[in-house]
Amino acid sequence: MMKKDKVVQLMHEKQQKATDEEISQETGIKLNDVRKILYKLHNFNLATYRRIRDDSTGWFTYFWKINKERIYDLIKSRKKLVLEKLKERLEYEKSKMFFYCPNDGDTRLTFEEAMESSFRCPKCGSMLQHFDNSEIIKVLEKKIKELEEEINSTSK
């Protein structure tokens, strides 16, 4: 588990504010690293803090808390971004005809690209064959549906 994951997990489990020293002791992560992680989370508004000054020493103690609502909002916005990309890819897959090289498994060309190369593989010169992308389309449609359901279920 990465350091930042440990910090977030601990703060989530505590359900209350914790100092950077407490987090460091409970996770075994160096105090400096804990502070870096907390400041990064704060920059994304994923963590908030309350600062209290010790009158005798003049030092500040920071009490940190995870901003759960912001985390959920961030996850939802990321899911929406992924959904948009999947829809773009689905449209691309549906609107194009593809060809591939049977000798070179990683060469896949659109009809236009295949036509430019006289339907020969640009790497090895073999004749290109039609590529059936119906499975890719099915998987994309399934993932889009799942993601839409996830997004809609969290907004209720």
CATH (one of 3.40.190.10, 1.10.10.10, 2.60.40.420, 3.40.50.410) for 3-66: 1.10.10.10
Distances (CA, A) of 100 to 27, 84, 94, 122: 51, 27, 16, 11
Compute the mean pLDDT over every residue in the chain, rounded to the nearest whole number: 89
Q: Residue 94 in contact with residue 138, Cβ under 8 Å?
A: no
Cα(92)–Cα(99) distance, integer angstroms: 14
Q: Quote the pLDDT of residue 40.
A: 92
Q: What is the CA radius of gyration of the chain?
A: 25
Domain boundaries, the chain: 3-66, 70-154
Q: Quote the pLDDT of residue 58.
A: 92
Residue spans of the chain under pLDDT 50: 156
Cα(101)–Cα(124) distance, integer angstroms: 9
Which H/E stretch holds residue 109?
strand 108-110
Q: Quote the pLDDT of residue 142.
A: 98
Q: Quote the pLDDT of residue 69.
A: 83
Q: Quote the pLDDT of residue 64.
A: 92
What pTM was computed for the model? 0.67
Q: Quote the pLDDT of residue 105.
A: 78
- Give the residue from 55, 63, 71 showing the smallest Cα distance to 8: 71
Phi–psi pair at 125, nearest 5 degrees: 85, 0
Q: Quote the pLDDT of residue 26.
A: 86
Which H/E stretch holds residue 149?
helix 134-154
Q: Quote the pLDDT of residue 155.
A: 60
